[in-house]
Amino acid sequence: MKRFKAKFGDGIREAWQDRKQSILVVETAKLRAVCEFARDAEKFNMLSDLTAVDWPKREKRFDVVLQLYSFSKNERLRIKAAAGDGEAVPSVLSVWPAAGWLERECYDMFGIRFEGHAGLKRILLPDEWQGHPLRKDYDILQQDEAWVRENMGIESGQ
Amino acid sequence: MDETQKTAETLPVEQPLPGADEIMLNMGPQHPSTHGVLRVKLKLDGERIEGSECVIGYLHRGVEKIAEHRSYQQFAPYVDRMDYVAAVSNGLGYCEAVEKLLGAEAPPRAKVVRTILTELQRIASHLLWLGTHALDIGALTPVFYCLREREEILKIFEKYCGARLTTHAFRIGGLQYETYDGFERDVKRFCDDFATKVDEYEQLLTGNRIWVGRTKGIGILTGEQAIALGVTGPPLRASGVKWDLRKAQPYAAYDQYQFDIPTGQNGDTYDRYLVRMEEMRQSRRICLQAIENIPTGPIMAKVGKVLKPPPGEVYHAIEAPKGEIGYYVISDGTVQPYRVRVRPPSFINLQAFDTMARGHLVADVVAIIGTLDIVLGEVDR
């Protein structure tokens, strides 16, 4: 963590440990640079997971969360970057090809755009679906009723 | 427009044909070899695959959304329904993640019983994989043998908790049920019977010229490619990376037992097959060691009836039969999780399909889907 701070200075907003797990909050614009550094210099060569968390009351409502793993150190590292609604986050696809589907899922579920991801489209939901279900303001019973009616031939809720 | 017309119209690929020799072929979602509802769009030059795109999401149920509206205990049965052929492993990952969040730990007896059941589940999952994978490629016999042995494992699950598939075997903090009378005897009997079974399957397949011809050199994934794509589990080990979470970051009671991590060199379908075969033998070894000495004592830690983990977050991953299954759970101090994210091994392994399939023939698609050992319930969640 110290090495990350020494390298990026203010680019690392916060760093702490929660239940023995290292967490870094980075400035969104520097996300890709931090990830390249993590992969090359710090040997975090696998991206285990990429997801997001919605905090609607915050000024920048989304946290993009990356779980990294280093084979040589047998360590995990979590990197977070905040993003406002409609704000684009740099894609880490060029750093880890694993991000391809994970970023698409993130876009699908939260509506976060990843800059530099060429094939960014929905992955689990139909392409024409309206809304992003894992946002906190998307009700659990909510559906794209027009889509359901048109494609399934039923009224939603049936 | 009636329903059949509409489906026929939406299914073909919309893009214009790129070249005279290239065709787009649609495979699935209703295809027996895709193990569920997976649709693959193939770009072909003759019979050779030039590119592919997986279309998934047909089984999406919004598991992560459901989690935010259930209490910690209420959500536990839902995780069984993701990878429904390895429900016990899914449950173990979730329970341990929430325990980590609570700062609790399951008692030693619970840990050992969990280990035994999870290893039995690994054997069951690999057996189902082997049977269906061989069936896809054209070997009809193994599936009967595999399901015969799998049945014995499911019977043990049924006796233990009443369910065979979606077991909900574990609880946050330990176990709900004590083991039944004769549990050790049943596991021991299964392990003894199983001793020669893997050799039997290997006799059918390992030296079989058709099997070798259909699997050797097919769907090669190098170690670097596998790591870059986040591939875990047997596909990663078959590519020569000796990495298993049971050894790297031990959980449950795995640090007490001796077992080996099998690896391959070529990263092809044949090596992945060999790795899984050896894993079954190793799982049997773990079970035998574990039943020798199940500690006595309580099976449940004192976690209370209402779980309110202190605010914070945790990422906990275990080695499921398919690869690393991880749970990222955030607590805001209430009875419901603020966010539960599942890191699904099948989903991330399936992403490697395109890399593995390029340059191969259409008939190999079936082998490559089979060798990835995906479960669509987990891919789509």
pLDDT score recorded for residue B3? 46
pLDDT score recorded for residue A43? 87
- How distant is the Cα of A52 from the closest Cα of chain B, in angstroms? 9
**Out of B103, B229, B313, closest to residue A98 by CB:** B229
DSSP helix/strand/coil, A88: strand
- Copy the structure tokens of residue A143: 């559906």
Give the dihedral sign, CA B171/B175/B178/B184: positive
CATH code of domain A2-127: 3.30.460.80
Provide the percentage of residues in chain A whose pLDDT is more than 70: 98
pLDDT score recorded for residue B303? 84
Q: What is the DSSP letter of A30?
A: G
Number of Cβ within a 10 Å radius of residue B296? 7
pLDDT score recorded for residue A156? 61
Minimum Cα–Cα distance from A110: chain B residue: B65
Beta-carbon separation of A67 and B60 below 8 A: no
pLDDT score recorded for residue B377? 84
pLDDT score recorded for residue B15? 54
pLDDT band for position A38 (cuts 50, 70, 90): confident
**Out of A54, A98, A138, closest to residue B351 by CB:** A98
Q: Which residues of B touch A46 (CB under 8 A)?
A: 227-228, 230
Beta-carbon separation of B248 and A74 below 8 A: yes
Contact residues for A18 (Cβ-Cβ < 8 A; gap 6+): B312, B313, B314
pLDDT score recorded for residue A157? 60
Number of Cβ within a 10 Å radius of residue A68? 24
Beta-carbon separation of A97 and B324 below 8 A: no
Interface confidence (ipTM) of the complex: 0.87
Mean pLDDT of A43-67: 89
Q: What is the reported pTM?
A: 0.86
Domains of chain B: 3-55 (no CATH), 103-302+350-380 (1.10.645.10)
Q: In chain A, helix, strand, coil percent, each to 5? A: 25, 30, 45
- Provide the residue-wise pLDDT of chain B in tens; the chain has 381 residues: 444 444 444 445 555 555 557 788 888 777 777 677 888 888 888 888 888 888 888 888 888 989 988 899 889 899 988 888 889 999 999 999 999 888 888 899 999 999 999 999 999 999 999 988 888 888 888 889 999 999 999 999 999 988 888 888 888 988 888 888 888 899 999 999 888 888 888 888 888 888 888 888 888 889 888 999 999 999 999 998 888 888 888 888 888 898 999 998 888 899 999 999 999 999 999 999 998 888 888 888 888 888 888 888 899 999 999 999 999 999 988 889 999 999 999 999 999 988 888 888 888 888 888 888 888 888 888
pLDDT score recorded for residue B300? 87
pLDDT score recorded for residue B20? 57
pLDDT score recorded for residue B1? 40
pLDDT score recorded for residue B8? 44
Q: Which of A80-89, A149-158, B100-109, B170-179 has the lowest mean pLDDT?
A: A149-158
Minimum Cα–Cα distance from A53: chain B residue: B339
Can you tell me the distance from the alpha carbon of A55 to that of B126, in angstroms, rounded to the nearest whole number?
40
User: B156: phi > 0 → left, psi -120 to 50 → alpha, else beta; which?
Assistant: alpha
Beta-carbon separation of A100 and B351 below 8 A: yes
Number of Cβ within a 10 Å radius of residue B324? 27
Q: Which residues of B touch A76 (CB under 8 A)?
A: 315
Beta-carbon separation of B315 and A78 below 8 A: yes
DSSP helix/strand/coil, A59: coil
